[in-house]
Amino acid sequence: MKSYRPPNQVMITIQGSSIIKFSFAVILFIFLLFSISGALTALKPEYQLKSSSVNTVASNITGGMLYQLLGWENHALMQSAPENSSAPKLTNMMFALSTNVNLDDPRSLLGRELPGFYQFDGKILIAGEGTNYTNMPIESSPPLDILTAEKEATLQNTEDVDDKDNNKSTIPPLSTGKKKVVYIYFSHNTESYLPYLKGVTDPNLAYHSKINVTKIGDRLKEDLEDRGIGTTLDKTDVQAILKQKHKDFTASYEESGKVVQAVLSKNHDLTYLIDIHRDARRKSQTTIKIKGKSYAKVAFVIGSNNPNYEKNADFAGELHKILEKKYKGLSRGVLKQGGWRYNGKYNQQLSNKAILIEFGGVDNTFEELYRSADAIADALSEYYWQAEKVNNPDKEKGSKE
């Protein structure tokens, strides 16, 4: 009797040794993958591999996009989506992720071709009067010889630097008492202004160890305390620390952050953190006349790479609104910076009321800067006491804490 074999039957023979080899290869691949990943992430920041393309791709993938992708596989998820939401086009999304070019934003294409164009990668959250992507603040970096030089420019026109305002009240109607709630510091403490540096005309050379942005801090502290708000002014020479540690200018926020954390650990009342800077733009873009007086414009910069981003942006937005009401045109707006090439934190992860303020540009005078400091103190005090009123409605007016 002949055995019967169904037609077209294929017989497959699998050897046990092949399965073992394949399984071993998979396990080895996974082990190597995790080992290499662990080794790369364990490296110090300065030695870690970085890719602007990978970073940009990751930053372009939003939560909404991921939700839509999951919805394509599980349609039940889309039932809870907002009615006015629209699914992204797969072709547009893949093109943007693969090329890092956003057809709705020409900067994404030009930025890859023009040197230095990445400075316009920031976004305008709230645009002040005249603010657009062509005149956003520029964070200039001084040449190495300026940071390490023992000599610096001779000073001139310093008559208005130590301006004193004697028309301030001595007893504020409201007070935080002995409690300090505002902390002012300077990551770029040597940023200066050209009118005071004899023979200096290059904005990249506008740095000085004595006449610099710390003078604005003096005025702002005085203004806030005249309004009853306890303020701590920290003039730690961050640039000297960089020089001592042989670090470059880009490490400024890292070093100032250590100073801020040390102070906050000792005083838990400090809530409002203000890092004062100077823009590198010229006077036509950083100056405005209000009621016949010249002011240095201010800009609020918020780092997007920290967990307090939204709250800090809201805080800056409220200050902008107050300035628009009282000093129309003074604020250049609220600007977001983050991603590759930018610090993106600016120590704002340390508080949900932390901001970086650009005071004027390289051509502004301290007469203009002090008026702007007065305006910032006015706006911040209004915001602070209104917040206190909301949070402590039964608190006795004018009480000392």
CATH number for the domain spanning 324: value is 3.40.630.40
The answer to whether the beta carbons of residues 354 and 312 sit under 8 Å apart is yes
- pTM for the model stands at 0.73
Domain check: are 97 and 246 in the same one? no
Length of the chain in terms of residues written: 401
Predicted confidence (pLDDT) per residue in 218-248, tens digit:
999 999 999 999 999 999 999 999 999 988 8
Nearest to 374 by CA among 225, 270, 171, 191: 225
Alpha-carbon span 186 to 207, nearest angstrom: 13
Bridge partner residues of 336 (DSSP): 123, 302
The answer to whether the beta carbons of residues 123 and 335 sit under 8 Å apart is yes
Domain check: are 93 and 227 in the same one? no
The answer to whether the beta carbons of residues 312 and 366 sit under 8 Å apart is no
Q: Within a domain: residue 289?
A: yes
Two tokens, residue 335? 């600007």
Domain check: are 81 and 150 in the same one? no
**Token pair 């964070």: residue:** 139
Q: Within a domain: residue 18?
A: no
Alpha-carbon span 300 to 322, nearest angstrom: 13
Domain check: are 218 and 76 in the same one? no
pLDDT of residue 198: 92
The answer to whether the beta carbons of residues 183 and 234 sit under 8 Å apart is yes
Domain check: are 223 and 334 in the same one? yes
Predicted confidence (pLDDT) per residue in 316-326, tens digit:
999 999 999 99
Domain check: are 283 and 375 in the same one? yes
The three state secondary structure string of the chain is CCCCCCCCCCCCCCCHHHHHHHHHHHHHHHHHHHHHHHHHHHCCHHHCCCCHHHHHHHHHCCHHHHHHHHHHHCHHHHHHCCCCCCCCCHHHHHHHHHHCCCCCCCHHHHCCCCCCHHHHCCEEEEECCCCCCCCCCCCCCCCHHHHHCCCCCCECCHHHCCCCCCCCCCCCCCCCCCCEEEEEECCCCCECCHHHECCCCCHHHCECCCCCCHHHHHHHHHHHHHCCCEEEECCCCHHHHHHHCCCCHHHHHHHHHHHHHHHHHHCCCCCEEEEEECCCCCHHHHEEEECCEEEECEEEEEECCCCCHHHHHHHHHHHHHHHHHHCCCCEEEEEEECCCCCCCCCCHHHCCCEEEEEECCCCCCHHHHHHHHHHHHHHHHHHHHHHHHHHCCCCCCCCCC
Q: Within a domain: residue 34?
A: no
Alpha-carbon span 145 to 190, nearest angstrom: 14
Instruction: Count Cβ atoms below 10 Å from residue 60 Cβ, excluding itself.
Output: 14
Domain check: are 215 and 81 in the same one? no
Q: What's the number of domains the chain is made of?
A: 2
Domain check: are 148 and 89 in the same one? no
Q: Within a domain: residue 292?
A: yes
Largest Cα separation within the chain, whole Å, is 122
**CA dihedral sign, ordered 301, 389, 327, 208:** negative
Domain check: are 92 and 204 in the same one? no
Q: Within a domain: residue 330?
A: yes
pLDDT of residue 164: 60
Residues 6+ apart with CB under 8 A from 230: 175, 176, 177, 178, 179, 180, 181, 182, 269
Q: Within a domain: residue 32?
A: no
Q: Within a domain: residue 321?
A: yes
Boundaries of domain holding 74: 48-104
Q: Within a domain: residue 80?
A: yes
Domain check: are 100 and 180 in the same one? no
Question: Residues of the chain whose pLDDT is less than 70?
Answer: 1-16, 37-121, 143-151, 163-169, 339-343, 393-401
Domain check: are 214 and 358 in the same one? yes
Domain check: are 170 and 78 in the same one? no
